[in-house]
Amino acid sequence: MNQPFLNTSALITGGASGLGLATASALVKGGANVVILDLPSSRGAEVCEHLGPTASFVPGNVLEEDDVRRALAQASEAAPFRWLVHCAGRGAPVRLVEKDGSPGSLSSFAEVIQLNVIGTFNVLRLAAAEIAKTAPHKESGERGACVLTASVAAFEGQIGQIPYSAGKAAIVGMTLVAARDLAQRGIRVNTIAPGLFDTPLLARVPEKVKAGLAASVPFPARLGQPEEFAKLVVQLLENEMLNGETIRLDGAIRMQPR
């Protein structure tokens, strides 16, 4: 079995479900020691028990420096820490002017921005500093790589997605700057902007609605599978020439206003 991540460790935020869980599974299969950082209310412990002895769970919040540091310490203790995959994030419906004529909620907007933007920066800065302590593992001087998660909403946000779109656009904006900033330390940074994926977020959506969403994807006319996201993560971690890039993973969809 090909195990490109053998004798290395990875941190995956939001790894207890959906895209993060599929990524955790792929990296464990690839030989990595994986630490999942997710909320205490998540299925993180159960998930890691299923993934096996090279996976462990740290309950916490990506906005809390101490939580992220605990997860990074656990990853570094297991093996040289080289890989970050940041999947944690969420949205909330907010309009500039709500249907009843009231102004959109500033607190809801701020909460989404806090998690998606500040949370991403917090995890990225702490993880990059930890990777920078690790000896290079390639002749080029590469020490490791980071993958962030945006969304096609960063480019074509729909009505009601203004905080989510703004937050994900900020992650796209961080990507090249972060790659340039960390180049001298041999750390690469890329971002995936997924389209419509079959994750727990859509589990609450009626099947008829899910079928309509799937049909809106040009090709393949279906929802993306989390395993397809994980495959791209693996490529972004392995391929040294992929750096500073945001890649849409969306079946060529371009979101409509609503």
Is 164 designated active site? yes
* Phi then psi dihedrals of residue 124, to 5 deg: -65, -45
Half-sphere CA count of 244, side-chain side, radius 13 A: 10
> How far is it, in rounded angstroms, from Cα 237 to Cα 48?
21
**pLDDT surpasses 70 at 250:** yes
User: Which among 63, 176, 186 is positioned nearest to 132, based on CA atoms?
Assistant: 186
Question: What local confidence, expressed as pLDDT, does residue 203 receive?
Answer: 73
Closest listed residue to residue 10, CA positions, set 71, 77, 61, 82:
82
**Predicted local confidence at residue 119, as pLDDT:** 98
* Residue located via tokens 């990595």: 32
pLDDT at 150 over 90: yes
* Domain boundaries, given as residue ranges, for the chain: 9-248
How do residues 78-102 score in pLDDT, each as one tens digit?
999 999 999 999 999 999 999 999 9
Full strand arrangement of the beta sheet holding 187-194: 55-59, 33-38, 9-13, 81-86, 144-149, 187-194, 246-249
Higher pLDDT, 190 or 201: 190
pLDDT band at residue 1 under the 50/70/90 scheme: low
Per-residue pLDDT averaged across 10-27, rounded? 98
Tell the CATH topology of 9-248.
Rossmann fold (3.40.50)
- Which residues sit opposite 81 in a β-bridge? 9
Is this prediction's pTM over 0.85?
Answer: yes
CA distance 248 to 255: 12
The active-site residue, picked from 57, 109, 164, 197, is 164
